[in-house]
Amino acid sequence: MVVLLVVVVLMSTAHLGLLIAEEAWKPPRFMIPVTGLLEIFGYFLLVLIGVELLETLRAYVKKDAIHVRVVLEVALIAMARKVIIEEPNTVSSLTLFGTAALILSLGVAFYFERLARGRTLHSDASTPAHGPDPPRAGAAAPS
């Protein structure tokens, strides 16, 4: 499965390079129109999603656990891609509100995941391996 995903990501990267070359070579040369840029950015983010999925699979195979941070990153990239390639005039307002709510909830989840990870890092760092710190000079000894 990992090998197939690697092949897909490599082929997608090659297709992205071809897409960029085609858009840059169209007259006027080296002036990519906005629609071409949106297509390139959308495809670039699609390749980035593939790379992040590879990272998720690698982490799963290595530690036999799925990292929430990586999954949230993939979801945020996918939603950013959706926002970039979506034409707001062709989508209902309810869909736009739903997309905004989903992005907001992913952002909140990402914030809390980082907050929880920071707490675990600080709790591990605050417990010294050699025992309690010796009293400082001039400080009262604990009774």
SS3 per residue for 2-18? HHHHHHHHHHHHHHHHH
Residue 132 confidence (pLDDT): 52
Q: pTM of the entire structure? A: 0.68
Residue 66 confidence (pLDDT): 74
pLDDT tens string 111-133:
999 998 888 767 665 555 554 55
Domain ranges of the chain: 2-123
Q: Where are the beta strands (DSSP E) in the chain?
A: none
Which residues of the chain fall short of a pLDDT of 70? 121, 123-143
